[in-house]
Chain A
Amino acid sequence: NAGVTQTPKFRILKIGQSMTLQCAQDMNHNYMYWYRQDPGMGLKLIYYSVGAGITDKGEVPNGYNVSRSTTEDFPLRLELAAPSQTSVYFCASTQDGGYFWQPQHFGDGTRLSIL
């Protein structure tokens, strides 16, 4: 029962570098989400997807891009890393986000530092 798997768990980037945070789920969930968690704050939605080929912006999308070519995978890309993107990133999924009472399932997170 893998659930939601995120890689890597930790990463240090230099300013201006790029990287992709990977997220995969094996529950055949249609809806997937990326959140960031800053110290002492709740999670903020970056991007979400309602199915393969469909993505949309959340509350804090600037500096990020996403793609959803398969149901299972939802990678998050940082093109030009900035110190403000230092955070812990969480991927989540739910079977059908249209049924808003369904809980989301979270990965263990990626801790990213931009120096």
Chain B
Amino acid sequence: GNSVTQMEGPVTLSEEAFLTINCTYTATGYPSLFWYVQYPGEGLQLLLKATKADDKGSNKGFEATYRKETTSFHLEKGSVQVSDSAVYFCALSDPKADGLTFGKGTHLIIQP
């Protein structure tokens, strides 16, 4: 079956630091890949997505590239802000599966 593995948290960084959150996946088909963000007390919001190999998704300064050869979709941001503090979920969608398959989430804490 499908699975998503992402780095354990919490990840604590200082403001303006560089961010990488690792995500790797296992899928039977050719999935689409997503990063969702969850702010405290809220539901999940789509941050970015990529639908085929070598696609780069980007939004709000965050980027992730769909690497089929390494089955990875790492999230990066060049300079984080306190407002980026949230839980980040990597997820995949596969035409042979129902719904999204999620990683466990990475809690990101940005200190001023």
Contact = CB atoms under 8 A, between A and B. Distances in A.
Interface in A41-70: 41-45, 48, 56, 58-59
A58 B99 contact: yes
Contact of A4 (B32, B41, B43, B103): B43
B43 A103 contact: no
A100 B101 CA distance: 12
Interface string A1-37: 0001010000000000000000000000000010100
B89 A43 contact: yes
B34 A42 contact: no
Interface residues of B, number: 26
A103 B95 contact: no
Contacts of B31: 100
A45 B98 contact: yes
Contacts of B26: none
Nearest to B99: A45
A33 B46 CA distance: 16
A42 B103 contact: yes
A108 interface: yes
A48 B98 CA distance: 8
A97 to B, nearest CB: 8
A104 B104 contact: no
Interface of B: 4, 31-32, 34, 36, 41-46, 49, 51, 89, 91, 93-95, 98-105
Given A108-B43, A109-B43, A101 B49 contact: yes
A103 B103 contact: no
A100 B27 CA distance: 14
A49 B13 CA distance: 40
A59 B100 CA distance: 11
Given A90-B43, A109-B43, A100 B94 contact: yes
Given A33-B100, A109-B42, 6 more contacts: A35-B99, A40-B105, A41-B105, A43-B102, A58-B98, A101-B51
